Every structure is written in C-alpha cells, then in structure tokens.
Chains A and B, each alone.
Chain A
Amino acid sequence: MILAAALAVLLYLNLTIGSVPLPLAEILKTLREGPSSGTYGSIIWEIRMPRMFAALILGGALAVSGFLLQTFFANPIAGPFVLGISSGAKLVLSIVMIGSMVAGRTLHSAAMIGAAFIGALMSMLIILVISGRVKKMSVLVICGIMIGYVCSAVTDFLVSFADDSNIVNLHNWSMGSFSGSNWSHVGVMASLGGISLLLAFLLSKPITAYQLGERYAVSVGVNVKRFRVELILLSSVLSALVTAYAGPVSFVGIAVPHLMRGLFRTTKPHVMIPGCFLGGGVFCLFADLIARTMFAPTELNLSSVTAVFGAPVVIWTMLRRRGGRV
C-alpha cells in the first residue's frame, strides 16, 4: 500500500516537475490526447514518460538483481555494484562502444545488452572463483569492490583515449543516468526485464529452500547446481540490462532489498521479488527526480544521488544486525 502510494506520487512528480513545469490538468489532458500534441505533448511523451519508465523498470531490475545475489551469497551486503558486476558490464560495454565509434557505426540495443551481459558474467565468474576459495563474506565483498575499481579504472583509461567528440557522451553514461531514454529502449527494457522478473518469480520455491542453506536445499530436493546457474544468469541479465541503458547505478541493489525486508518483515521470495521491483522503481524515480531537479539545469549523476540515500541504509542495516556479521 505504502509502496503503491509512493509510486503514484512519484510518477506524478516525475511528469510534472522539470525545466518546464506542467500542471496536473495539462498532464491529464496530454495523456488523453495521446502523443504529438504540441510542446507539452512532446515533453511528456518524448522525454519525461520514457525516462520515467526507464527509471521504474531499471530501478526494479537492479533491486531484484540485488535480492537474488544476496540470496545466492547468503550475504546481506551483496549487490551488483558491490560485487563489481555492474563495473564489469560497464567495462566490456565501453570497449564495444568505443570500438564501434572508431568503426563509425551505431550500436544496436541487443549488442549493447549482450556486451554488458558478457562483462557482468566475467565479473561474476571471478567472484565465484573467489567465493569457492574463501568462505569469508567480508573477503568476498572486498574482492568485489576491488574488481569494481579495476574495471572502472580501465574504463576511464579507455575513455581518455576515445575520440573527443564522443567522450562527453560516454562519460555521461559511465556515471549513470536515465536521460536519453526513448520508447524503443523502454520496450526492450520492459520485455527483457519482464521476462527476467517472471523467471525470478518462478524460482521462488527453490529460493525459499536455499535460504535455509545449501545442504537443506539439497535435502528437500533442490538441484542446487542448476539453481545456482539460473540465479547467476538471471542476476547478470538484470544488472547487464541496467548497465547497458543507464550505466552503473550504485546502492540500489543493496539498499532496496533491505528496505523492503524491513517494510514487509519477511524474506519470502514471492513477496520480496515483486516488492523489490516496485521498491527499486520507486527509489530510482525518486533519485532521478532529485538528479535532474536539484541543480537544474545541471543534471547530477544518478549514482551520486542513489549513493547519498542508499549508503546510509546499508550502514544502518549493518548496525542493526546482531553482531554486525558481514
């Protein structure tokens, strides 16, 4: 309920606030009339609505990806950003982007997502190798953060060698932003995000068993090997999707599942997966609103906003847990 209300309010705010303020009546009128009706129409239909849906879907995808990773590693601070998965996706994607710029071609959506997915999987594999060797969660997280730094450094390095005119574009993206979303992007996000979300939801049952630990999951008949692969692929697809369109966005993946757990007082996946999706969407709508209005017309980068709000949540959760176990 709270979530639905917050969602409604934020959807409204995201449409109404901007460099051209639009009153509610205008919005409703424009929505009724459909696209291509004057300035207001194009602001709403071409700029704000796609951006709004992008924030909603990608935010949700990130949060669900975070929830899956937290389940997988039985670690409360796992998330696509912390484990270096977003940064891995960013690295491979920027290599491909620069490559295509040099070749003078524009990249297709599918190629971008594919590249991000490969990057996400590469980071994931490194993390898995590490997690096979050390059982300590703190070590795992530190390694993830280091992978993230290395990938970001290499990306920065590549960016400084890229063609000048393209740098601004690439740089903006590598800081995270929902700007420049259009309807065809939203279509891809919605279909890919929707499918992944559905698949994640179908994994609810084994996820519940897995929350009791691997041995118990096996003992009630979960094929743990297959389940782990499914979980990894899904969370990689979700974070790759986000990275492909919005760049790496920090803290949504960690913070939102915690907030939702606090809100619903449960970890049941059939509540948490839709909950995280909505929560992530709300969180990103809010963050995006702040990013573009706080110092308008200058736009803040999204990751800074999500970090400001997300990091305290993580710290708070850590302190609240008994013994601060990592």
Chain B
Amino acid sequence: MDVLVSAEDLCAGYDGKAVVSGLNLELRRGGITALIGPNGSGKSTILKTLAGQLPPVSGRVFLKGRGLGTMSEREIASVMSVMMTERVDPELMTCEDVVSVGRFPYTGFMGRLTAHDRDVIRQALETAHVFELKDRDFNRISDGQRQRVLLARAICQEPEVLIMDEPTGFLDIRHKLELLQVLMKMVRERGTAVLISMHEIELTRKFADTVICLKDGKAGPAMPPADALGRGAVCRLFDLDEDQYDWLYGEKQALTGSDPVQGD
C-alpha cells in the first residue's frame, strides 16, 4: 500500500469552528509533503488533526486505509510519530530518557526496555547527532539541541509517518540542513512519509516533493514545489510585493523605502 495517510475535504479547527478548510492530501511512502503559509494560517491545526490529536470539524482522515477516529491511540502511535512546537519541559530527565519515551508503543505493560529497544534508541541518538548528549539534563541543553533530541525521540518510535511542526524553527543553518538530511535519509532508507510545516521557502523548494499552501483559511491543492512556490505564488501567499520578493530571493540590491513593509 502506497498511500499511508489521506484526507478528504478536511476541515480542521477548534470546538467545531473551522480554522482551515478544503484540505485534500495523500501522504505516500517515501514522500515529503510540506505545509507552507503565513503565521496563523492553520498549519499546526491541520497537523494536530492529521495526528489524531484534534477531531476534524468535517471531512475524514484515513491512516493506512482505516478511519483515524476508529483507531486507538496505541494503534496510531505504532504507525505515526509527531513532533510539535509546544514546549516540552520535563523535570530531571536525561536526553536518553526523553528519547526512550518513543519506544513506548512497543514496550510491555511496565515499559521495560529490551536490548532491542536500547539498540534502536542508540541508533536514533546517533542518527540525530545527539549521542554525546544522552546523559545530559534535557532542560540544560540549547534549543537547537533539544530539537534534535525530540527528533531522535520521533525516529526511535520507528514511524511510517512522521508529522513535524516547524522542526527547523530554533535551528541555525547548519543544524537545519542536518535535520533535513536526517529526514531525507529516513525517507530514502525506510520509506517514511513525512509531513512537515516550515517557513523557509528556499529550503522547501529543494527538500519537499509536494507542497500545500495555506492562506486565509483555505488549503490549496497539493502541487510540486516549483509550481507552488514560484515568484508570483509566494508573493500572493505572504502578501509580498515583487520588490520585496526580489530583494529577498532575487538579485535586487536595495529595498526601496517607499512601500512600508506589511506586517503579518
């Protein structure tokens, strides 16, 4: 089966009020789909809904052909792993402890880790380049390191689908690239399907196979990045004028001061 997650005419929101509507998507094995849109356009809302943490306002989500709403948390967890933006601050947990929570769906009643679990945890730590942090207190490492530890946690859950909300947010440019490389490796070697929200247009163009743009409570169609993130499309999406766009991504040297930059 190639399609792991599919959504049909999904309307996502809180308390029955839609934040975004009209989402149709298919996450395929080995594919990377990116959600792009201004702040507040509903990226996180969609991700939470697809992860089964928020009931859809209308429409349906299928995970490996089964309705998401009919599956238990544990069944979902053995297929899908999520990495959200909200702050995690556990007390007195080492990075290894945090990562090992990812093995939860596989361990027994008391959560005892087997030798195999420990192996997977070690590999996940290495893959995310945080092995040397494993005994450090999770609360006493930098934001970027924390992000990579959370990535390791998601990896050791051995998901077929990985849902990530702005995982590159806190990272410097090198760690952004490293994180994306880790993801691409997972996609290539394990056929993981990745759904990711991010703000870096130029990285998305190179990284994603499919892009869905969100704007004014509407989800656009799934498109290849070259079409979805062309000059005109990006300008419309973020309310940029072409001057601003060219200054950001093009060759233009100076940004004229005549047009005030519009806030988001």
Interchain CA distance A208-B72 in the complex, whole Å: 19
Q: Does A222 contact B (CB under 8 A)?
A: yes
Residues of B contacting A308 in the complex (Cβ-Cβ under 8 angstroms)? none
- Max count, chain B CB within 10 A of own CB: residue among A211, A221, A223, A267: A221
Nearest chain A residue, comparing its CB with the CB of B77: A221
> Which residues of B104-130 have CB atoms within 8 Å of chain A's CB atoms?
104-105, 107, 109-111
Residues of B contacting A220 in the complex (Cβ-Cβ under 8 angstroms)? 77, 81, 101-102, 104-105, 157
Q: Does A261 contact B (CB under 8 A)?
A: yes
Residues of B contacting A222 in the complex (Cβ-Cβ under 8 angstroms)? 73, 104
Asked if B92 and A216 make an inter-chain contact with CB atoms under 8 angstroms apart, the answer reads no
Interchain CA distance A76-B74 in the complex, whole Å: 29
> Which residues of B35-94 have CB atoms within 8 Å of chain A's CB atoms?
48, 51-53, 72-78, 80-82, 84, 86-88, 90-93
> Which residues of A256-305 have CB atoms within 8 Å of chain B's CB atoms?
261, 265-268, 270
Q: Does B98 contact A (CB under 8 A)?
A: yes
Interchain CA distance A265-B52 in the complex, whole Å: 35
Residues of A contacting B97 in the complex (Cβ-Cβ under 8 angstroms)? 208, 268
Interchain CA distance A222-B53 in the complex, whole Å: 11
Interchain CA distance A266-B98 in the complex, whole Å: 12
Residues of A contacting B109 in the complex (Cβ-Cβ under 8 angstroms)? 202, 205
Interchain CA distance A266-B88 in the complex, whole Å: 17
Give me 8 A-to-B residue pairs in the complex whose CB atoms sit less than 8 angstroms apart, sorted by A's number: A209-B104, A211-B91, A215-B53, A216-B153, A221-B74, A266-B93, A267-B93, A268-B97
**Residues of A participating in the B interface, judged by any CB pair closer than 8 Å:** 76, 202, 204-205, 208-209, 211-213, 215-216, 218-224, 261, 265-268, 270, 322
Extra inter-chain contacts (11) besides given A208-B101, A218-B73, A266-B93, CB under 8 Å: A208-B111, A211-B91, A212-B98, A212-B101, A215-B48, A215-B86, A219-B77, A220-B102, A221-B73, A221-B74, A221-B75
